[in-house]
Amino acid sequence: MVENKQLWDSALNEIELGVSRANFSTWFKNTCIIRQEDGVVSLGVPNAFVKDWLYNKYHKVILKSLREYSQSVRSLEYVVSKEQIKTKDDAAHAVFKPSGVGELPLNDLYIDKNDNLNPRYTFSSFIIGSFNDLAHAAAQAIIKNPGVVYNPFFIHGGTGLGKTHLIQAVGNYIKEENSNKKIHYITSEKFSIDYITSLQNNKINDFKEKYRDYDVLIMDDIQFLSNKNKTQEELFHLFNSLYENNKQIIFSSDQHPNFIPGLEERLKSRFSAGMIVDIAHPEYESRLAILRQKLNQRNFTLSDEVLEYIASLLNGNIRELEGVLNSIICQSQLKNKVLFIDEIKSLIKNSARPKKTVSMKEVIKIVAGFYDIEEFIIYEKTRRKEIVKPRQVAMYLLREDFNISYPTIGQKLGGRDHTTVMHSCEKIKNALKNDNLLSQEIEQLRAMI
């Protein structure tokens, strides 16, 4: 049998080739094989969070690498142990948990198998900002009168922006307030699989009865029903049955239903009968609030300087912000200390999705091309309607996505006063709450930029 240290060193060399440097440093540092018994390898890890992460994300990779160097390995288990720090780099150190560094809670991830609702998705943990306030207000109206107000309710927006959180928060609230109501959350993919399985097993009537019996049906990622004509037809009939009986129907998608290819017109019409609202990317102030709330949930503290740095650097989605915080917390646990700003900057540089470097001129050029106007006209002081909108959109993107100051934007765009820029940004921001076409245009421009 290969010695523990030799086996793990060999496996680590193999693993390192297949993962990023940041992930390797984050998740595999301070790990070692504690023992090998009857083909079972016990891998020592520093804490429960790392244990859970390695099992869920890298278990197959680790097991495969171990078997490359020892065919006697049959299975792998993870053990939270202090032994793993006794490596050549850390033999003289003892393990301690610094003040304010808490492990990520795992018990709040369990899903209720009866309704598929995740208990951690509640209104109390939902951050409200200008990017999602309309969707939140609509959800609040629904929970007061399910099946009557905004039925159906359709939320759309990019990935990682909190759509699933909000629609499940509706379900969790109604579940808590009305224990007699039957609530069910499901993805469109799972719905399609259930439908196909029922057909194959000649249990289509059971399928229909089950779904028609729900008082609140929440269906996520409706875009995956694209071109699935039979499933769409079944959803159409289910929709009609639920709607006619004043049962609440909630959908989510990564885009407005009118832009989902291969979606039947009759479904688009049904979706439009209620409330369709989008969730945009969070602006700087909302990103800062999200970071603070996530830290509070983790019982973890970071300085305002660090939070402001993260919020200004990352202009993506909520999931990306949470991922960076997870990395910071885990690194703090592994190093047994709170990280300083320079260490955090280095960590984010290695693990976060890099922001594309784009000049102001390039942004304006892209916006001008999108609206089919000459680039130079945006700089001119004209009030023509076909020019004002592209100019205001350009100002909005420069402010929200690149955090450029109002005076700088005004100076670059024809020497305008900063108050003019502020007014333009606010006008676009307010228009996005009700103008679905403008929301689509902004998202397409962001993708082009």
| Residue 56 DSSP label | I
Q: What's the rounded mean pLDDT across residues 265-294?
A: 90
* pLDDT value at residue 113: 80
Is residue 350 classed as helix, strand or coil in its secondary structure? helix
Range of 51-55, 132-136, 239-243, 407-411 with top mean pLDDT: 239-243
Stated length of the chain: 449
Take residue 253 and report the two structure tokens written for it: 């998608």
Report the C-alpha gap between 368 and 161 in whole angstroms: 27
Res. 107: pLDDT tops 70: no
Q: What is the CATH number of domain 360-448?
A: 1.10.1750.10
* pLDDT value at residue 187: 94
Report the C-alpha gap between 357 and 148 in whole angstroms: 47
Nearest to 212 by CA among 235, 230, 190: 235
Range of 228-242, 255-269, 408-422 with top mean pLDDT: 228-242
> What is the bridge-based pairing of β-strands 75-80 and 40-45?
parallel
Report the C-alpha gap between 322 and 298 in whole angstroms: 11
Confidence of residue 190 (pLDDT cuts 50, 70, 90): very high
Q: What's the rounded mean pLDDT across residues 271-294?
A: 88
Asked whether the beta carbons of 177 and 143 are under 8 A apart, the reply is: yes
Report the C-alpha gap between 169 and 282 in whole angstroms: 19
Report the range of poorest mean pLDDT among 162-166, 168-172, 206-210, 316-320. Answer: 316-320
∠ at Cα 443 (442, 444), nearest 5°?
90
Q: Which has more pLDDT, 89 or 282?
A: 282
Report the C-alpha gap between 394 and 392 in whole angstroms: 5
Per-chain mean pLDDT for the chain: 84
R_g of the chain computed on alpha carbons: 26
* pLDDT value at residue 22: 66
Confidence of residue 82 (pLDDT cuts 50, 70, 90): low
Confidence of residue 1 (pLDDT cuts 50, 70, 90): low
| Residues 6 or more apart whose Cβ sits within 8 Å of residue 114 | none
State residue 32 phi and psi, 5-degree precision. -160, 160
Asked whether the beta carbons of 223 and 254 are under 8 A apart, the reply is: yes
* pLDDT value at residue 5: 87
For the chain, percent of residues with pLDDT exceeding 70: 90
Residue written as tokens 């393990």? 95
Residues pairing with 295 in the sheet: none
Q: What's the rounded mean pLDDT across residues 407-417?
A: 85
pLDDT tens-digit readout, 3-30: 888 889 888 888 887 777 767 877 888 8
pLDDT tens-digit readout, 241-262: 999 999 999 999 988 898 888 9
Report the C-alpha gap between 346 and 356 in whole angstroms: 17
Which homologous superfamily is 133-278 in? P-loop containing nucleotide triphosphate hydrolases (3.40.50.300)
Residues pairing with 219 in the sheet: 186, 251
* pLDDT value at residue 396: 92
Among the residues of 284-359, which ranges form H helices?
284-298, 304-313, 318-335, 341-351
Class of 4-85 in CATH = alpha beta
Report the C-alpha gap between 164 and 351 in whole angstroms: 25
* pLDDT value at residue 349: 67
- Other beta carbons within 10 angstroms of residue 405's beta carbon come to 12
Res. 307: pLDDT tops 80: yes
Is residue 231 classed as helix, strand or coil in its secondary structure? helix
* pLDDT value at residue 191: 95
Is residue 183 classed as helix, strand or coil in its secondary structure? strand
Q: What is the largest CA-CA distance in the chain?
A: 80
Q: What's the rounded mean pLDDT across residues 79-84?
A: 67
* pLDDT value at residue 390: 93
For the chain, percent of residues with pLDDT exceeding 90: 35
Res. 145: pLDDT tops 60: yes
